């Protein structure tokens, strides 16, 4: 793996003034620095992953989220699917148990 030095980095150097002008966002909405810090510190259960998705899927979620927070919308959709699956399994089990007792 090649070694990349600071001289190779094309990103501009950021100053304190750049950070002072930063806009903090949570879920696609502007928030205060304090609210952002609380949200970031509270999200320890999230993990950064790299995933390949169809362009149509990305376009769909970006359109639904108006270009802001589309990854959060994808996460919420996956969570709903997971919870619905669990709910369906529970309902099926309860129905089977009830049918056995009658």
The residue extents of the domains of the chain are 18-47, 48-102
- Give the tens place of pLDDT for each residue, 13-26: 878 888 788 888 88
Predicted TM-score (pTM) above 0.85:
no
- Give the tens place of pLDDT for each residue, 8-60: 667 778 788 887 888 888 878 888 877 877 777 776 577 888 999 999 999 99
The crossing angle, in degrees rounded to 10, of helices 55-64 and 70-101 is: 100
Q: How far apart are CA 95 and CA 91, in angstroms?
A: 6
């Amino acid at each position: 793996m090649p070694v990349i030095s600071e001289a190779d980095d094309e990103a501009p150097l950021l100053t304190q003034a750049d950070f002072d002008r930063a806009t903090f966002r949570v879920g696609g909405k502007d928030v205060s620095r304090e609210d952002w810090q609380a949200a970031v510190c509270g999200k320890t259960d999230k993990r950064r992953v790299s995933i390949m998705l169809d362009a149509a899927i990305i376009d769909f979620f970006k359109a639904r989220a108006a270009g802001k927070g589309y990854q959060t919308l994808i996460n919420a959709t996956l969570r709903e699917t997971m919870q619905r699956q669990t709910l369906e399994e529970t309902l099926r089990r309860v129905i089977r148990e009830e049918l056995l007792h009658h």
